[in-house]
Structure 1
Amino acid sequence: MTDTPAIDPTAAPSGAGCAECDAAGGWWFHLRRCAQCGHIGCCDSSPSQHASAHAAAAGHPVITSFEPGEDWFWSYPDEQFYESGPALATPDHHPLDQPTPGPAGRVPRDWQQHLHR
């Protein structure tokens, strides 16, 4: 994945966790970052699937992982996975002390029962 208007390398992440889950007191499994505006949302396995909802509502078609050690990109329109892409504004993952799933204190004991498969 190279130069594309769907990726803005200067857009900083919107926060350390899913913006909508944080606002509602919810939790997430994994985090995704909008490559165009930096919005942090929860993955499609998470109960609320905010990253996909953001992509559809905002028309921002590319996400990247916001998990430590992952630097892949995903294009929704192409349904294409890319193993790498341009370097984005830091930070490139959630804080290392934030658990997965997270955040600490909001994940139910039966969290695995709430995942989308």
Structure 2
Amino acid sequence: MQFCPNCSTRMRAKQTPEKETQNICAKCGYSTTQKETTETTYKTEKKSRLVAKNDVSIKIVEDGDDIKTLPTTSIECPKCSNGEAVWWMYQTRSADEPTTQFYRCTKCNHTWRNYA
């Protein structure tokens, strides 16, 4: 495969009556015979990148002081019908899916989830 030195368009090979291969640029008309061309070999390399995943430490929310730092919302507990719960979000599915909201009742500590 040859490229035109004038306009960088790929040249098309054509057989001449003298049985020579002539490369012709369809864009600018530049032409050369196979004897005149110098062969250039291009090597392509596929580069791959490894993305290191960071170690993520997950803190389990248990009863105690840590639950007091979470935000609260007005939502009814399905177990005891209390009207307030703390909530947090966590990516439980693939990255292109929405995050999952977890709720914990402030009265009975029942935990449930909402797939947003």
TM value normalised by structure 2? 0.22
TM value normalised by structure 1? 0.22
Higher relative contact order (CA 8 A, sep 6+): 1
Q: Which has the higher helix share?
A: 1
